[in-house]
A = this chain, B = another copy of it.
């Protein structure tokens, strides 16, 4: 048995007592250069990417496991994090189980191999974060983490593509109850950035005038000084959210119809 391989594996599955048959996967979304991006991990042993995920301690609440996993990968400790769906198909791992590749990472301890080869139901959590505030750290089985534009997501491991699709669908359905702008944008932003954010989440063009009218009507924006672009161009106004009003309205539902 390769000593190095075992060292890699232990922190993930053996150092703690993990709850059998249940895992957590996180769809962590950020917004950069006018695009929604998802945090993905590149595996060490093979050319595949996956969502950040992990197991649940025997004495750990499901929600707490998700908070811990998010924190371990991004350094964010007070996240917006919400469960969106549990994935429980018998064959959700698909035909390729990557078992031999995973063995090369975790060693050949048969108990461990049996444990991770069993059926897992995985609960998906959605997190919305400000990319600039993240300090990315790959897990023990991954080479690196990256923010990947939704348009560039490859064939992920297991049912992780479906997880992202489902998370985006839930965002659309609960648009009026999710803190979209306040989590994903910087503290100051232009109306255009806010519109681009909604466009990329809804996956469609939105009329500029209508959008601005609706957003201003919500009474959650504070208009700041004009952005100084240092040129002859007409500078756009900067806005920030009125946090108190934002929170209050979020509870009630924004009432923004997409």
Interface residues of A (CB under 8 A from B): 19-22, 56, 58-63, 65, 83, 85-90, 119, 121, 123, 172-174, 176-177, 253, 255, 257-258
Determine whether the beta carbon of A123 is less than 8 Å from that of B174: no
**In whole angstroms, how far apart are the Cα atoms of A258 and B177 in the complex?**
12
Q: Smallest CB–CB gap between A25 and chain B, Å?
A: 12
- A172 to B253 alpha-carbon distance, docked (Å): 9
Which residues of chain B come closer than 8 Å to A22, judged between CB atoms? Answer: 21-22, 88, 121
Contact between chains at B253 and A255 (CB < 8 Å): no
By beta carbon, the residue of chain B nearest A91 is B61
Bound-complex Cα distance A181 to B193 (A)? 38
A157 to chain B, nearest CB (A): 19
CB < 8 Å neighbour of A20 from B20, B56, B85, B90 = B20
Asked if A62 and B121 make an inter-chain contact with CB atoms under 8 angstroms apart, the answer reads: yes
- A88 and B123 contact, CB distance less than 8 A: yes
CB A47 to nearest CB in B, in angstroms, measures: 29
Closest Cβ neighbor of A123 among chain B residues? B86
Q: Given A19-B121, A22-B121, A257-B257, 20 other A-B contacts at CB below 8 A?
A: A19-B119, A20-B20, A20-B21, A21-B22, A22-B88, A56-B88, A56-B121, A59-B90, A62-B86, A62-B89, A62-B121, A63-B88, A65-B88, A83-B86, A172-B253, A173-B173, A173-B174, A173-B176, A253-B257, A253-B258
